[in-house]
Structure 1
Amino acid sequence: MRAAAVVASLAGAVALTACGGDGGSDAKDDSGPSASASASADTGGGTGASASASGGLEGSWLATTDGKAVVLVVNGTEVALFATGGTVCSGTAGEQDGMRMIRLKCPDGSKDRAVGMVDSVGKTRLKVTWQGEGGLGAESYQKAQGGKLPTSLPTAGLGS
C-alpha cells in the first residue's frame, strides 16, 4: 500500500514537471557521453548560466536507490530532487572545468547529493556520480516521458 502511495506521489511530481518540455529533439542516444555544455554553473548567487547549460539533462529523471524512489527534475539551469522519506533538494546544473555538474542544497542538511558529476546522458538514461559526504557514488536514472512513469521502474521494496 505504501509503495503505491509513493509511486502515485512521484507520478504527480513528474506530471507537474512535464510542462517544461520533453527534450526530445535535443536528446542524444544512450551509447556514450554527451557533448559538453557552454555555460558555467551558478554557484554563488551571481548571474545565472544560460538555459543551454543543462543541455540533454532537461526533463524528469527517475531512479530507485537503496529502496527509495528518487526524482531528479531539470528545467534549464534549475534542478530539484525529491526522494522517498521526505528529502527535497534544489540547486543548479551547469558546466565547471569542462564537466557537467549538478549542485544541490537540501534543507535537512543532507550532503549525499550535494555535488554530482554527469557521467553520461542519453535519450532515456542519465548517470550521475554524487560526490557528497555520504559517499552515495554513481546513480542511474531513467527519463520519464510525457509525465508518465517508465514501465521498467523498479518499485519492489519501496515504502518497506
Structure 2
Amino acid sequence: MIKQVCKGAATVAAVVALSACGGTGPNGAEPPESPSPSATAAASPSGVAATPGGSGGKADALLSGTWGTSTGSVLLRVRGRAVEMASAHRCQGKVAEEDGLHVIRLTCDDGNTDRSVGRVYGLSADGMTVEWEGLGADSFERAG
C-alpha cells in the first residue's frame, strides 16, 4: 500500500514539475496560462512590497492595533474593520480589502481630506507603510 502511494505521489510530482516548466500538459493539451502575479509581488509607487489583505487572514490580525509615525504626528488605531486617526485632524473610517490590499478610507471631523484614502504596504508585526492618495506615504510602527 505504501509503495503504491509513493509511486502515485511521484507521478503527481512529475506532472506538476513538467507543467510548471512549460510545454504541453497531459494528453498533449497546452497548459493553462499562469495566473497574474500575486499582490505580494506587486509594489507601491514608492517600491515597498505590497501585503495582501484578506477576510480573517493573518494580515487582518497584523493590522489590528495602534500604530504611530516615528515623529508621533499621526496615530492610527485599527479595531477589526474600524479605523480612527489622530493627527492635526481627528478622523474615523473603515479598512477593507480592495484588489488584494488593505485600503483605509477616512472621514475627518473638520472636513480635511489629506489622509482620506490610503493603501497599506509592507505590513509586518512591527511596521507598515500607508500610501495616501495625493499626499504621499507615512511609515508606521506598532505603538502598543
TM-score (norm 2): 0.59
Letter in 2 for 1:123: A
Contact 1:78 1:93 survives alignment (8 Å): yes
Distance 1:90 1:102, change over 3 A: same
- The residue that corresponds to 1:37 in the other structure is 53
Contact 1:63 1:70 survives alignment (8 Å): yes
Distance 1:73 1:51, change over 3 A: farther
Distance 1:32 1:53, change over 3 A: closer
Q: Report percent identity of matched pairs.
A: 35
- Paired with 2:113 and 2:91, the residues of 1 have a C-alpha distance of 10
1:78 to 77, 82, 97: 82
Moved over 2 A (4+): 31-34, 36-39, 50-55
Letter in 1 for 2:78: V
Contact 1:71 1:82 survives alignment (8 Å): yes
Long gaps (5+) in structure 1 = 1-30, 40-49, 146-160
- Paired with 2:81 and 2:57, the residues of 1 have a C-alpha distance of 6
Distance 1:103 1:81, change over 3 A: same
Distance 1:52 1:93, change over 3 A: farther
- Paired with 2:128 and 2:93, the residues of 1 have a C-alpha distance of 18
Higher fraction of helix:
2
Q: How many corresponding residue pairs? A: 97
Instruction: Provide the alpha-carbon RMSD of the alignment.
Output: 2.5
Which protein is bigger by CA-based radius of gyration? 2
- The residue that corresponds to 2:142 in the other structure is 143
- Paired with 1:52 and 1:77, the residues of 2 have a C-alpha distance of 14
- Paired with 1:99 and 1:33, the residues of 2 have a C-alpha distance of 7
- Paired with 2:57 and 2:112, the residues of 1 have a C-alpha distance of 27
- Paired with 2:54 and 2:83, the residues of 1 have a C-alpha distance of 18
- Paired with 2:49 and 2:131, the residues of 1 have a C-alpha distance of 15
Q: Are residue 54 (structure 1) and residue 53 (structure 2) matched?
A: no
Pairwise CA distance, 1:126: 1.1
5 Å matches for 1:44-123? 54-64=60-70, 69-83=73-87, 85=88, 87-123=89-125
Pairwise CA distance, 1:37: 2.6
